């Protein structure tokens, strides 16, 4: 019972720590959005192209955050570590 509790608690903490990776995409997407605003300010007629490119870049920058999210989801909802006990 105690081992199970320790594993479950440590998994919850691990899921929380995994989500620290959300910092990276946040910074990256903010940077991309800022640069996008600058570009629109300089060239308002190209707004649709700039928005499209920015959204694409944001989505690609997001992948690392999504990986950490998947790891957190696995740790919380289908914990593989409990079955190892």
Partner 1 sequence: MEGPKIIFTIPLLGGIPVTETVVNSWFIILAVFIACRLITRRLQKVPSGVQVLAEKYVTMVCKLVDDTMGKNKQRYAPYIGTVFLFSALGSLISLLGCRAVTADLNTTLSWALVTFVMTQWGGIRTKGLLSWLKGFLDPVPVMLPMNIMSELVNPISLSFRHFGNISAGMVITMLIYSGLAALTNIVFQGLLPVPIFQLGLPAILSIYFDVFSGVLQAFIFCMLTMVFVGMATDP
* Interface residue list for partner 1 (CB under 8 A): 52, 55-56, 59-60, 62-63, 66-67, 69-70, 73, 77
Closest distance of CB 2 from partner 1, Å: 27
Q: Which of 25, 2, 12 is CA-nearest to residue 74?
A: 12
* 75: Cα within 13 Å, side-chain hemisphere: 19
Closest distance of CB 62 from partner 1, Å = 7
We find the least distance from the C-beta atom of residue 65 to partner 1, in angstroms, to be: 8
For partner 1, the closer of residues 6 and 73 by Cβ is 73
Helix intervals (H) in 1-85: 2-18, 23-42, 47-61, 63-77
């Amino acid at each position: 019972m105690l081992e199970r509790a320790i594993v479950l608690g440590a998994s919850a903490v691990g899921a929380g720590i995994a989500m620290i990776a959300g910092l990276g995409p946040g910074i990256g997407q903010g940077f991309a959005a800022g640069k996008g605003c600058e570009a629109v300010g300089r060239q308002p007629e190209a707004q649709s192209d700039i928005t499209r490119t920015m959204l694409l870049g944001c989505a690609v920058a997001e992948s690392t955050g999504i990986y950490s999210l998947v790891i957190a989801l696995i740790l919380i909802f289908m914990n593989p570590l409990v079955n190892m006990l």
